């Protein structure tokens, strides 16, 4: 489920815990999401510590704790964060719970595609330092985009936009939204764009990210009806621009929704 703006929304779900002491840590040590972690170290470090702050970069979140704890969370396809009042009922898909005085911060993920990383250190851990530039940052330049498209010139645009090492936070719906707005077919090869098309793509990329953060990242609002977003999810939708029936096709291993009229292949 979560892409750039949804991740930002979920990150803030734990903000009620900032400045609060963690009284107890419960985790499913055998869950796949902890396969890169020392779960003993997590419980040991976080119990009695205080949640200091959090930050999202693309789909990668990090929560910082007193005592040097760095908790990295990736939500995968079905992960969610929530803050619930105590007492509360747990369930089998909950893998991590941080109990505060009268609330609990929970991470649940039925499909287990999410990942947790952890470090205990004063310095920023390597896995947090080595992140690609955000799409909305100054470091994300038109030139960098053009160079990347050239490097992946034989791949379909849809597949390229999903590459997190260049477009952190972009996921299936955002990639479709971007390509629909810029009127490029998901199957168009990355190396086939004119300079003008590359520049248009650059602008749409940033616009979609910016607007998604405003609409969804703050309070999970519904985007305006002139976005592809509201029409793309199930078969039978019509293009909000021209009214044509939207098409769905596997591109880059994912179902892509597009308008065959506005985005001719």
Q: Which ranges of the chain would DSSP assign to H, the alpha helix?
A: 4-13, 39-46, 126-129, 142-151, 157-161, 172-181, 195-219
Q: Does 129 sit near DNA (CB under 7 A)?
A: no
Take residue 70 and report the two structure tokens written for it: 């760095």
* DSSP letter assigned to residue 245: B
Is 3 one of the catalytic residues?
yes
76 contributes a contact to DNA by CB under 7 A: yes
Given 26, 128, 241, 254, the residue binding DNA (CB under 7 A): 254
Of 32, 57, 254, 260, the active-site residue reads 254
Answer for which of 25, 159, 185, 228 binds DNA (CB under 7 A) is 159
Q: Does 29 bind DNA (CB under 7 A)?
A: no
The verdict on 115 binding DNA (CB under 7 A) reads yes
CB count within 10 Å of CB 35 equals: 10
Residues that bind DNA (rule: CB under 7 A) add up to a total of 35
- Pick the catalytic residue from 2, 132, 156, 223: 2
| Catalytic residue list contains 8 | no
Site for DNA in 171-210 (CB under 7 A): 171-173, 190
Q: Is 93 a binder of DNA (CB under 7 A)?
A: yes
Residue 28: CB minimum distance to DNA, A? 10
Q: Which stretch binds DNA (CB under 7 A): 10-18, 64-72, 146-154, 199-207?
A: 146-154
The CA distance from 115 to 74, in Å, is: 5
146 near DNA (CB under 7 A): no
With CB under 7 A as the contact rule, the residue among 233, 242, 244, 245 that binds DNA is 233
Tell me the window of 20-28, 105-113, 177-185, 217-225 that interacts with DNA (CB under 7 A).
105-113
Q: Of 11, 59, 64, 181, which residue is the catalytic one?
A: 59
Q: Is 264 a catalytic residue?
A: no
| Position 74 contacts DNA (CB under 7 A) | yes
CA triplet 53, 56, 60: central angle to 5 degrees? 120
As a whole number of Å, the end-to-end CA separation of the chain is 28
The backbone torsions φ and ψ at residue 230, rounded to the nearest 5 degrees and listed phi first, read -80, -5
CB of 191 to DNA, least distance (A): 7
Separation of alpha carbons 139 and 12, rounded Å:
25
Residues contacting 196, CB < 8 A, separation 6+: none
Q: 217 preceded by cis ω (within 30°)?
A: no
Task: Please say if 59 is a catalytic residue.
Answer: yes
Q: Is 88 in the site for DNA (CB under 7 A)?
A: no
Three-class HEC string of 172-231: HHHHHHHHHHCCCCCCCEHHHCCHHHHHHHHHHHHHHHHHHHHHHHHHCCCCCCCCHHHH
Q: Name the site residues for DNA (rule: CB under 7 A).
A: 1-3, 6, 32, 59, 74, 76-77, 92-93, 110-113, 115, 151-156, 159, 162, 164, 171-173, 190, 233, 248, 252-255
Q: Which residues are catalytic?
A: 2-3, 59, 254
């Amino acid at each position: 489920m979560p892409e750039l703006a949804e991740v930002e929304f979920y990150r803030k779900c734990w903000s009620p815990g900032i400045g609060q002491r963690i009284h107890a840590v419960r985790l499913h040590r055998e869950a796949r999401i902890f396969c890169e972690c020392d779960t003993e170290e997590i419980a040991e470090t976080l119990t009695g510590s205080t949640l200091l702050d959090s930050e999202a970069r693309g789909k990668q979140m990090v929560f910082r704790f007193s005592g040097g704890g760095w908790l990295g969370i990736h939500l995968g396809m079905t992960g969610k964060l929530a803050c619930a009042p105590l007492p509360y009922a747990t369930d089998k898909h909950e893998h991590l719970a941080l109990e505060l005085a009268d609330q609990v911060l929970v991470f649940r993920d039925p499909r287990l595609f999410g990942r947790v990383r952890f470090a205990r250190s004063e310095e920023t851990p390597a896995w947090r330092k080595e992140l690609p530039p955000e799409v909305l940052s100054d470091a994300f330049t038109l030139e960098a985009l053009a160079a990347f498209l050239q490097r992946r010139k034989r791949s379909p645009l849809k597949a390229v936009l999903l590459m997190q090492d260049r477009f952190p936070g972009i996921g299936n719906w955002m990639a479709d939204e971007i390509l629909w707005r810029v009127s490029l077919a998901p199957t168009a090869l990355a190396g086939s764009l004119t300079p003008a098309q590359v520049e248009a793509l650059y602008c749409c990329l940033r616009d979609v990210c910016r607007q998604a953060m405003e609409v969804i990242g703050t309070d999970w609002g519904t985007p305006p009806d002139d976005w592809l977003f509201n029409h793309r999810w199930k078969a039978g939708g019509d293009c909000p621009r021209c009214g044509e029936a939207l098409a769905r096709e596997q591109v880059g291993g994912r179902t892509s929704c597009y308008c065959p009229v506005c985005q001719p292949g």
